[in-house]
Amino acid sequence: MTKETEKKQLEDAFVRSLSSLCLAAELAVLDTDDERKKKKEKVVDLQAKAIAGAFKDSARYVELTHKKSRWEMLNQQKLSTTDAKALLIDLSFSNPFSPYQLEYKEKDLLKIAKQIGECVGLKSDAIEAIWKTRKEALDSHSEIAWGKIMMFAVGGAAVLATGGWMAAPALAAYLGGSAGLAGAAAVSYGLALLGGGSLALGGMGMAGGLWLVTGAGAIGGIMLGGGGAMLVQLGSGAAKVELVKLQVSFKEITLSGQVDRAISQNAILKLLEEQNELKLKLEEEQSLNDKNSSRIKEIESILETMDKSINWMKKVA
């Protein structure tokens, strides 16, 4: 990895962490439950400390704790259309207080995410298109209680707050290693959790889950396997969120022409490969566990969501 690429990844990770922090902080302001509001404020403070520490600039902590400074910094971060879309998709599916479980209103999350999108240079019509596709993707899984499932989603700043580790790519490798992965797969997984890395540089960009089907070197034609295993590691709740994010990104980023069309052709095929991998995993688990074990139910649940995601992507393609 070149120094230029690493610098870009760090910048992207900071923008995403800052955006997640702004989202969490504004949700705390809007909360009308005093007890929950105080808890949210505590989490936001933890996030601010973690971001300042992770990016080796503790002096920035003071700025990160003040609303005006946070938004001023965000206004300075102008992104490409592709990266701005990826960021907004991530935020619209995130749990900004992750790993803590604090309720928030869906309409508030979307309202603030729109403000963030405008800050980083995304036009209002593009934002509206993302919301529309997001609804379509969620509706394709109408049996899922999304209000509860979203609590399993990941927020970039919150990931940092859980341990205050060093920033990507070192942090990405650490997170991937903690999931039992190694090498490029570990970095890919970690960057997916953080939302770090730029699509234009062949990184994850998270792009609403494109990591799952493209891998770290997708732009260069390198395809990494193991996405099915990663979904199992995430658990059925988070896996479902990632699969629906993938649907939104597939339509709003890949099919919009912002990314090489070859990726759109390979995306569904790759996801089908991951589905077959999961089916083999299910067979293995069925031979080793009781029929109604939680391990088996987890994989079956992911496979059901994956099947609907694939069918939806085929339809929009």
Can you tell me the mean pLDDT for 169-197?
A: 47
**pTM tops 0.85, yes or no:** no
Between residues 23 and 82, the one the model is more confident about: 23
pLDDT at 31 over 70: yes
Between residues 179 and 228, the one the model is more confident about: 228
Can you tell me the mean pLDDT for 199-228?
A: 36
pLDDT at 62: 77
The lowest-confidence range among 4-8, 110-114, 117-121, 284-288 is 4-8
Sign of the CA dihedral 192, 196, 200, 202? Answer: negative
pLDDT at 273: 82
User: Is 119 within 8 Å of 77 (Cβ atoms)?
Assistant: yes
CA distance 10 to 104: 29
pLDDT in tens, 49-84: 877 776 666 667 778 888 889 999 999 887 888 778
Virtual CA dihedral for 114, 116, 122, 128, nearest 10 degrees?
-10
Confidence band (pLDDT; 50, 70, 90) for 197? Answer: very low
pLDDT in tens, 251-310: 887 787 655 566 666 778 878 888 898 999 999 999 999 988 999 999 999 999 999 999
Instruction: Domain count for the chain, please give it.
Output: 1
User: How far is C-alpha 112 from the chain's CA centre?
Assistant: 17
147-151 long-range Cβ contacts below 8 angstroms, 24+ apart: 147/106, 149/237, 149/240, 149/241, 150/93, 150/95, 150/241, 151/95, 151/101, 151/237
Find, among 73, 76, 53, 78, the residue nearest to 63 by Cα.
Answer: 73
Can you tell me the mean pLDDT for 171-182?
A: 48
pLDDT at 5 over 50: yes
Most confidently predicted of 16-20, 170-174, 290-294: 290-294
Sign of the CA dihedral 125, 96, 45, 84? Answer: negative
Most confidently predicted of 6-15, 28-37, 98-107, 229-238: 28-37
9: number of Cβ within 10 Å: 25
Tokens linked to 46? 């933890």
pLDDT at 2: 59
User: Is 252 within 8 Å of 123 (Cβ atoms)?
Assistant: no
Between residues 14 and 72, the one the model is more confident about: 72
Domain of 236, in residue numbers: 3-316
Can you tell me the mean pLDDT for 101-115?
A: 89
User: Is 259 within 8 Å of 307 (Cβ atoms)?
Assistant: no
Beta strands in the chain (DSSP E): none
Tokens linked to 10? 């760090």
Can you tell me the mean pLDDT for 113-134?
A: 90
Task: Give the end-to-end CA distance of the chain in Å, rounded to a whole number.
Answer: 33
pLDDT at 184 over 80: no
